[in-house]
Amino acid sequence: MRTRSLRSFISNWVVHIILSILAVIWVIPIAFVILTSLRAEGGSYKSYIFPRGYTLDNYKNLFLSTGSLDFPRWFVNTLIVSICTCVLSAFFVLCVSYVMSRLKFKARKKLMSVSLVLGMFPGFMSMIAVYYILKGFGLLDTGALKLLALIMVYSGGAGLGFYIAKGFFDTIPKSIDEAAYIDGATKWDVFWRITIPLSKSIIVYTLLTSFMGPWVDYIFARVILGADKVYYTVGIGLWSMLEKEFIEYYYTQFFAGCVVISIPIVILFLRTQKYYVEGVSGAVKG
Amino acid sequence: MGSKKQRTLEGSASDISFRSAFILGNVITKLSAIIFGLGNLLHKQIIRGLLYFSIEVAYIYYMVTFGVTSLKNLITLGTVSQVEVFNEELQIYEYITGDNSMLCLLYGVLTIFITLVFIFALTGSVKSAYDSQRRKELGKKVLTFREDIRSLKQENLHKAMLFTPMVGIISFTIIPLLFMILIAFTNYDKNHQPPGNLFDWVGLANFKALLLENSMLSNTFWPILRWTFIWAIFATFSCYILGIILAVVINREGTRFKGFWRFTFVLSIAMPQFVSLLTMRTIFNANGPMNSLLRTLGVIGMTESVPFLTDPILAKITIILVNIWIGVPFTLLTTTGILQNIPRDVYDAAKVDGANSIRIFFNITMPYILFITTPNLITTFTGNINNFNVIYLLSGGGPDSLDYYSAGKTDLLVTWLYRLTITDKDYNLGSVIGILVFIILATLSLITYRRSKSFKEEEAFQ
């Protein structure tokens, strides 16, 4: 008995030491971002991690700065785009996933297969075509319209990402629906008055994931917004701080900006990771 | 209302196919294929009939004014090239606009879609006429427009709910995709840019150049394809195996502060990927913190630096290692959820039977995790083939190679696609690669997904 407890004592120590080392490795890059955002001395790459001096000026300059790199303006742009996007795409996703989960009609299997096939093309393969279509309809003529175009691009195809929400709707017992039908409810009533109130978690999840999209996208934003810096979103705006002509001055501000947009995302993520896990393992429950 | 009506309506003529509706229908129903809405109009369904009829009129108007020309242009892709003409009066060169092949292609695709909508309306008109005909024959009431609207909340709810999402998907996914697929069969590259130049159909020439001929293109394609697969295999399985081990270690009985460990590892997921990847790029820079750490430790000389992202082989290793940093927390997160769902009594029973922790892991935990995560493993693999972020942000595909056609040693097919379209404007090559990636993924998914249980037993848990 004693050798056994000694063995588990040693193995516990070993496990904790290894975990600590790994944890440090996983935290270092995050710490690097935060430390650099607080760095007092300017310039880009430094060969050391811990700054020589600390300051909050980077954050202050970020929000007070005007001129060509106008972070506050980008922030507002992104906020508008992401609010519109998240409402629209959540609407699309919920509609499609409910239909695919509950309503039986002839073309259902066919539509599911088509959506699977569409998902296999590289996402930005059609980017150029989208760009020309938007241009053809005159949606890229002024900056404000470009933001509208961006909203349409982000939410347009959202209906295809219905798998996680469908997995959720699949888990709501059908007997609830049937009870409502017996009471004379229409299918719409069941969706609107019964399923939706039961699905708060998946609605929140869908809203949040589509809200986050515009904050971290830099591919579509770059193609659609082009060189129009005033109408940039945060993702591509921060990216432009790393361009050769700006990097020496804006490097630390770039990291401050990263921290600013990361904080809400971290909070949202930690609060919603439950749904993420359920989505991944729930859709394929064995 | 509701349930009673629903029963009488289901199995009515509205479910019938176009063919049988056309064959079984009377003269009026058949004529509805030529004059849309005729059947509805004669059965006093005025609004429905007018709607069908107006679709037909609008389509004919569109085709006469614009559609026929655009279909013709789709075949030729424009014939008149832009020319420079010397203007004697003003003494300057002027451009006379020619055809724009890109717009020809785009409008052609749009016309095809409008025609599809038209055909859809045609079948709808006949089916709807037949439906009214049947109702009359059976002595039932013909549906009024008000009832049609109401049916959108009931038996036609799927149409009402799918309409807007479908419009979005068709205009922002399907039409652009079709447009790009067609470009793969043209010579729309950097030398054939509208409006200055025309481009034309070239058949399978692009595919041949990329796959068969011993040219620079195919000498780029095959190595990149090979690296894409090596990358996807390593990236998927390294994260998968290490993530499971980490989850099990954190979840084991003796480990303390379980929540703290999980939080620490999962934190990296929450950070936007472009932030963490650009940070990693800085850390592994020639003069970055990693190299200066090695210098201080005396592993390398004071002026030397390890080419983490600039040496072809080392860059690949670095990318895979960084990807472990990115990917392991995802596996940790999902596996932890699964581990906590394994019923405790299974473990207790195994312990009573005298199994040690290693046997328990291989005989209970591992099979259970594998069973649940296999479909997810497939999506991760296909996701890695298309993993744009990690490569683009970390190495940008570099180090660039002179043997390659506008690609670097660590470029994946998708990052190469991005470079070809955005930087080089070789749209035709870009879309050929897109199609090839699609073929690869479709084959993989067909082999694996069709076999997986969750596809066959989709409704097992309802």
pLDDT tens-digit map of B186-216: 988 888 888 778 888 998 988 988 888 788 8
Option in B177, B278, B282 nearest A126 (CB):
B177
Q: How far, rounded to the nearest angstrom, does the alpha carbon of residue B197 sit from its chain's CA centroid?
A: 31
Scan for tokens 């060189």, then name that residue: A227
Distance, CA of B323 to CA of B231 (rounded, Å): 10
Tokens of B8: 């009488």
Whether B10 has a pLDDT exceeding 80, the answer reads no
Interchain CB distance below 8 Å, A121 and B3: no
What integer is the mean pLDDT of B349-367? Answer: 81
Q: What is the reported pLDDT for B115?
A: 93
Domain spans of chain A, in order of start: 2-57, 68-285
Residues 233-262 (A) with a CB less than 8 A from some CB of B? 235, 239, 242, 258, 261-262
> What residues of B are in contact with residue A138 (Cβ under 8 Å)?
none
Q: What is the reported pLDDT for A4?
A: 67
Residues 236-255 (B) with a CB less than 8 A from some CB of A? 246, 249-250, 252, 254-255
B299 CB contacts (<8 Å, ≥6 apart)? Answer: none
DSSP A187-242: HHHIIIIIIHHHTHHHHHHHHHHHHHHHHH--HHHHHHHTT-GGG--HHHHHHHHT
Q: How many CA within 13 A on the CB side of residue A65?
A: 21
Hey, what amino acid is at A17?
I
Whether A88 has a pLDDT exceeding 90, the answer reads yes
pLDDT tens-digit map of B280-317: 888 888 878 888 888 888 888 777 888 888 888 999 99
Distance, CA of B171 to CA of B178 (rounded, Å): 11
Whether B321 has a pLDDT exceeding 90, the answer reads yes
Chain A residue whose CA is closest to B286: A47
Distance, CA of A128 to CA of B423 (rounded, Å): 12
Option in B166, B267, B452 nearest A30 (CB):
B267
CA-based nearest residue to A277, from B395, B169, B338: B338
Scan for tokens 């299974």, then name that residue: B346
> What residues of B are in contact with residue A188 (Cβ under 8 Å)?
152-154, 157, 160
Q: Does the CB of B367 have a partner CB in chain A at under 8 Å?
A: no
Q: Name the percent of chain B lying above pLDDT 70.
A: 94
Q: Does the CB of B418 have a partner CB in chain A at under 8 Å?
A: yes
Please report which confidence band the pLDDT of residue A276 belongs to, taking 50, 70 and 90 as the band edges: low
Interchain CB distance below 8 Å, B269 and A269: yes
Scan for tokens 């055809």, then name that residue: B99
Q: Are A15 and B255 in contact (CB under 8 A)?
A: yes
Distance, CA of B430 to CA of A46 (rounded, Å): 38
Distance, CA of B276 to CA of B280 (rounded, Å): 6
Q: How far, rounded to the nearest angstrom, does the alpha carbon of residue A88 sit from its chain's CA centroid?
A: 15
Q: Does the CB of B169 have a partner CB in chain A at under 8 Å?
A: yes
Distance, CA of B261 to CA of B255 (rounded, Å): 10
Whether B13 has a pLDDT exceeding 60, the answer reads no
Q: Where are the alpha helices (DSSP H) in B63-204?
A: 68-76, 101-137, 145-151, 157-169, 175-183
CA-based nearest residue to A62, from A260, A236, A264: A260
Distance, CA of B438 to CA of B331 (rounded, Å): 26
Q: What is the reported pLDDT for A280?
A: 57
Interchain CB distance below 8 Å, A186 and B1: yes
CA distances from B414 to A214, B25, B225, B385, B386 (A): 21, 52, 10, 8, 6
Phi/psi of residue B389, nearest 5 degrees: -55, -55
In the A/B pair of chains, how many CB contacts fall below 8 A?
A: 267
Hey, what amino acid is at B214?
N
Interchain CB distance below 8 Å, A188 and B462: no
Distance, CA of A263 to CA of A270 (rounded, Å): 11
Q: Name the percent of chain A lying above pLDDT 90.
A: 15
pLDDT tens-digit map of A221-250: 888 888 888 888 888 888 888 888 888 888
CA of B83 vs chain A CAs: smallest distance (Å): 23
Q: Are A149 and A140 in contact (CB under 8 A)?
A: yes
What integer is the mean pLDDT of B413-431? Answer: 89
Please report which confidence band the pLDDT of residue A116 belongs to, taking 50, 70 and 90 as the band edges: confident
What integer is the mean pLDDT of B160-165? Answer: 90
Beta bridge partners of A54: A39
N-terminal to C-terminal alpha carbon distance within chain B: 27
Hey, what amino acid is at B434?
G
Percent helix, strand and coil across chain A, each to the nearest 5: 80, 0, 20
The three-state secondary structure class of B462 is coil
Interchain CB distance below 8 Å, A269 and B270: yes
Residues 156-195 (A) with a CB less than 8 A from some CB of B? 156-160, 170-171, 173-174, 181-182, 184-189, 191
> What residues of A are in contact with residue B195 (Cβ under 8 Å)?
none
Total residue length of chain B: 462
What integer is the mean pLDDT of B228-237? Answer: 94
Max CA-CA distance within chain B?
Answer: 103
Which CATH superfamily is A68-285 part of?
MetI-like (1.10.3720.10)
Interchain CB distance below 8 Å, B266 and A270: yes
Tokens of A238: 């921060």
B173 CB contacts (<8 Å, ≥6 apart)? Answer: A118, A126, A156, A157, A160
CA distances from B55 to B30, B122, B167 (A): 18, 9, 17
Report which secondary-structure segment, H or E, holds B86: strand B83-87
Domain spans of chain B, in order of start: 2-203, 209-456
CA of B433 vs chain A CAs: smallest distance (Å): 9
Scan for tokens 């219905």, then name that residue: A162
Torsion of the alpha carbons at B410, B416, B419 and B425, rounded to the nearest 10: 150
Long-range contacts for B158-162 (Cβ within 8 Å, ≥24 apart)? B158/A99, B158/A103, B158/A105, B158/A108, B160/A188, B161/A95, B161/A96, B161/A98, B161/A99, B161/A103, B161/A191, B162/A95, B162/A96, B162/A99, B162/A111
A227 CB contacts (<8 Å, ≥6 apart)? Answer: none
For an interface test with A, the pick among B4, B157, B304, B448 (most A C-beta atoms closer than 10 Å) comes out as B157
Phi/psi of residue A55, nearest 5 degrees: -160, 155
Hey, what amino acid is at B39?
G
Q: If you classify domain B209-456 with CATH, what class do you get?
A: mainly alpha
Torsion of the alpha carbons at B140, B144, B150 and B151, rounded to the nearest 10: 50
What integer is the mean pLDDT of B172-195? Answer: 88
Chain A residue whose CA is closest to B282: A45
pLDDT tens-digit map of B237-295: 999 999 988 988 888 878 888 888 888 888 888 788 888 888 888 888 887 888 888 88
Please report which confidence band the pLDDT of residue A283 belongs to, taking 50, 70 and 90 as the band edges: very low
CA of A228 vs chain B CAs: smallest distance (Å): 17
A163 CB contacts (<8 Å, ≥6 apart)? Answer: A97, A283
Whether B452 has a pLDDT exceeding 60, the answer reads no
Max CA-CA distance within chain A?
Answer: 80
Q: Name the percent of chain B lying above pLDDT 90.
A: 18
Q: Does the CB of B82 have a partner CB in chain A at under 8 Å?
A: no
What integer is the mean pLDDT of B450-454? Answer: 57
What integer is the mean pLDDT of A105-130? Answer: 83
CA of B173 vs chain A CAs: smallest distance (Å): 6
CA-based nearest residue to B457, from B378, B375, B379, B381: B375
Interchain CB distance below 8 Å, B372 and A284: yes
B457 CB contacts (<8 Å, ≥6 apart)? Answer: none
Whether B2 has a pLDDT exceeding 70, the answer reads no
Tokens of B67: 């559609």
For an interface test with A, the pick among B149, B167, B172, B199 (most A C-beta atoms closer than 10 Å) comes out as B172
Beta bridge partners of B201: B186
Hey, what amino acid is at B347?
Y
For an interface test with B, the pick among A37, A121, A162, A223 (most B C-beta atoms closer than 10 Å) comes out as A121
For residue A175, how many other CB atoms are within 10 A of its CB?
9
pLDDT tens-digit map of B78-120: 787 777 777 777 777 777 777 888 888 888 999 999 999 999 9
Please report which confidence band the pLDDT of residue A81 belongs to, taking 50, 70 and 90 as the band edges: very high
Interchain CB distance below 8 Å, A128 and B177: no
Please report which confidence band the pLDDT of residue A40 belongs to, taking 50, 70 and 90 as the band edges: confident
Q: Computed from CA positions of residues A224, A225, A226, A232, in that sequence, does the dihedral angle turn out positive or negative?
A: negative
Q: Computed from CA positions of residues B258, B264, B270, B276, in that sequence, does the dihedral angle turn out positive or negative?
A: negative
Q: Does the CB of A129 have a partner CB in chain B at under 8 Å?
A: yes
Q: What is the reported pLDDT for B316?
A: 93
Q: Where are the alpha helices (DSSP H) in B153-204?
A: 157-169, 175-183
Whether A92 has a pLDDT exceeding 90, the answer reads yes
Whether B8 has a pLDDT exceeding 60, the answer reads no
Q: Computed from CA positions of residues B47, B48, B54, B57, in that sequence, does the dihedral angle turn out positive or negative?
A: negative
> What residues of A are in contact with residue B273 (Cβ under 8 Å)?
216
Residues 147-166 (B) with a CB less than 8 A from some CB of A? 152-155, 157-158, 160-162, 164-166
What integer is the mean pLDDT of B319-332? Answer: 91
Q: String of b and e for A63-90 (b: at least 16 CB within 10 Å)?
A: eeeeeebbbebbbebbebbbebbbebbb
Residues 28-87 (A) with a CB less than 8 A from some CB of B? 28-30, 32-33, 45-49
CA of B272 vs chain A CAs: smallest distance (Å): 6
CA of B267 vs chain A CAs: smallest distance (Å): 7
ipTM of the modeled complex: 0.83
Q: What global pTM score does this model have?
A: 0.83
Interchain CB distance below 8 Å, A286 and B274: no
Option in A105, A120, A152 nearest B438 (CB):
A120
Angle between helices A108-118 and A71-102 (to 10 degrees): 150
Q: Are A150 and A234 in contact (CB under 8 A)?
A: no
